[in-house]
Structure 1
Amino acid sequence: MAEVRRVIVGVDGSDSSRYALEWSAQEARFLGMGLHIVAAVEVPDVDGPFAELLRSRGAATDSPRVKDAEALLAYARDWILRLYPELDVATRLVSRPAADALLEVADEPGSALVVVGSRGRGSLAAAFGGSVSVELAARSPLPVVVLPNKHEAVRGARGRIVVGVDGSDKGRRAAEFAFAQAAERGAELVAVCAWQPITAFAMTMGPVPAEIFDDDAVAGSARETLSNGIVDLRERYPQVAVDARVVRAHPVVALLEAATPADLVVVGSRGRGGFAGLLLGSVSQSVLHGAHGPVAVVH
């Protein structure tokens, strides 16, 4: 028998994980895939002569945390099967930190996509997109879709696909994922390439070419980047209606203004710039933080 491909979703009882669960079930049904619901129980990280005993108790099947997680998984599976009785639904309880648990399942054959809420019960408001979702988006070998606390497109609504194009390798893979999603959904694709006047920045760098001060030249370069970034994808997916936009704005502003809460925004995990110390690129982190709808981060 052919292996069932699955959408993986993490649940923890929070509002955003509930939206993530419903969105992922809808996607799995629409794409003809199965659904794998994952809950995590973190084993205490302790040292000392009784460390092994304490760790084993933390993962014991009769511990309150494990019982709560098992009850949550059973409830989530039952709820999804009430909504989509034809869906192939599996569950898994993993005794690891939340991000590691989802990464463990994502490495298994047949895994296609990972979905998570932007803020779980233990995430800090100061973290962009929640610490788990950022870590997962930075480390996952699969595309990761992050859902906000409140999402307008969970049942029935199918929005457009909005993707940022910047000429980078990861931006290229993001565009490939976006075109494939648009083709599967029968959705319009909005491809956005943003540019900004860089006169002030250039003046701090010493002598620079005169054309760097020419907004028309910078805009023309952005148009060329956008055209080159999607030309072969348009040929591969002729059925996808494409709205190609060159926007004078910061990339985060351009993407968020192009999207409604019903749209899926797709970004590469890193663009051409950014700081190596960040788990994700600054644009992808900021889009995760500011979006009102689902965001897919692609490596």
Structure 2
Amino acid sequence: MNGTPEKRWIVVGVDGSDSSRYALEWSANQAAQRGRGLTVLTAVGPPDAAGAFREIVPRGGEQETSDRLRDAQALVDYAREWIQRLFPELDVRTRMPTARAADALLEEAELPDTAAVVVGSRGLGGLASAFVGSVGVELAAHAPVPVVVLPKKHETAHRTKGRVVAGVDGSESSRRAVAFAFAQARWTESELVAVCAWQPMAAFVSAMGPVPPEAFDDDAVEASARRTAEAELDEMRADYPGVSVDLRTVRAHPVVALLDEATPADLIVVGSRGRGGFGGLLLGSVSQSVLHGAHGPVAVVR
């Protein structure tokens, strides 16, 4: 016995919004393809879930709590029934914790049988929806498993095949992201497109005093970026010999390179932090910007 759970589960957060509906369908499709179970979770926030605004948010007392519980039960029941019509063989279970959405999903992410957590980028709820992907960003920064964020509209619905597009930069976070991307490509029988973005070094080193001539040689910089990417990919190719890999070195900012490469049908995979990230930030600037700008699903791997 090695302590590995017999079945692993993909957890999806739902709240009745279009974004979470797409997340639910995407998650179910992934679970069916990979032999996982699906956990459908909706959080029933406590009365003080408004945080700093709790003093000005009206409270409805026990009746409001009862109504929220009833609505949450109806939502998870509907979600389970709908998914089981699409995927009759899929194991589906539901959760309805009394907690903030991010806290409830993080607690589920920490269970040993959880493989990934999936959420929509925008939920219901007025002011909160102005903070694009606030739950997704919090999850991606802290969850011990990959977090996939789905936009409001996307093209990776049931039976639609896309590629897996992964950012590669040689960092530890990137290596873990690439490993996830290879596994995802194998299970979904997709092509893996590895994107290694590079930028001219002169703009970064000209203020640092004398620099070697090769720092101004774009060909040398691109060749170095390609060597870094190839070394990272070679670590995984032996484990996934059936995965077709297309390495692209692109002269651009990493965010621009990834968003330009991916279509709405593709899954973008990024590490939570690349090289040179600031430890005090929830997420690295690249992963956060990709989450905000993508028109398809994005997986963030810590």
Q: Judge same fold: TM > 0.5, yes or no.
A: yes
Is the counterpart of residue 9 in structure 1 residue 18 in structure 2? no
Instruction: Give, as a single letter, the amino acid of the residue that structure 2 aligns with 1:20.
Output: A
**1:155 alignment partner, one of 135, 140, 158:** 158
Aligned to 1:179: 182
Instruction: Give, as a single letter, the amino acid of the residue that structure 2 aligns with 1:250.
Output: H
Instruction: Give, as a single letter, the amino acid of the residue that structure 2 aligns with 1:200.
Output: A
Tell me, in whole angstroms, the C-alpha distance in 1 between the residues paired with 2:81 and 2:130. Answer: 34
Residue pairs, 1:12-31, within 5 angstroms: 12-31=15-34
**1:260 alignment partner, one of 238, 259, 263:** 263
**2:96 alignment partner, one of 93, 97, 100:** 93
Gaps of 5+ in 2: 50-59
Aligned to 1:51: none
Is the counterpart of residue 290 in structure 1 residue 284 in structure 2? no
* Contact 2:123/2:129 (8 A) holds in 1: no
Residue pairs, 1:60-209, within 5 angstroms: 63-122=66-125, 124=128, 127=131, 129-209=132-212
Tell me, in whole angstroms, the C-alpha distance in 2 between the residues paired with 1:72 and 1:193. Answer: 42
* Range with greater deviation from structure 2 (35-44 or 200-209): 200-209
* Contact 1:59/1:66 (8 A) holds in 2: no
Gaps of 5+ in 1: 47-56
Is the counterpart of residue 280 in structure 1 residue 283 in structure 2? yes
Tell me, in whole angstroms, the C-alpha distance in 2 between the residues paired with 1:81 and 1:167. Answer: 41
TM-score (norm 1): 0.91
RMSD: 2.0
* Contact 1:43/1:59 (8 A) holds in 2: no
- What is the CA-CA distance between 1:114 and the residue it aligns to? 0.6
**1:33 alignment partner, one of 11, 20, 36:** 36
Tell me, in whole angstroms, the C-alpha distance in 1 between the residues paired with 2:128 and 2:44. Answer: 18
- The percentage of aligned residue pairs carrying the same residue is 64
Tell me, in whole angstroms, the C-alpha distance in 2 between the residues paired with 1:254 and 1:113. Answer: 25
- What is the CA-CA distance between 1:87 and the residue it aligns to? 1.0
Aligned to 1:249: 252
Q: Secondary structure at the match of 2:42?
A: strand
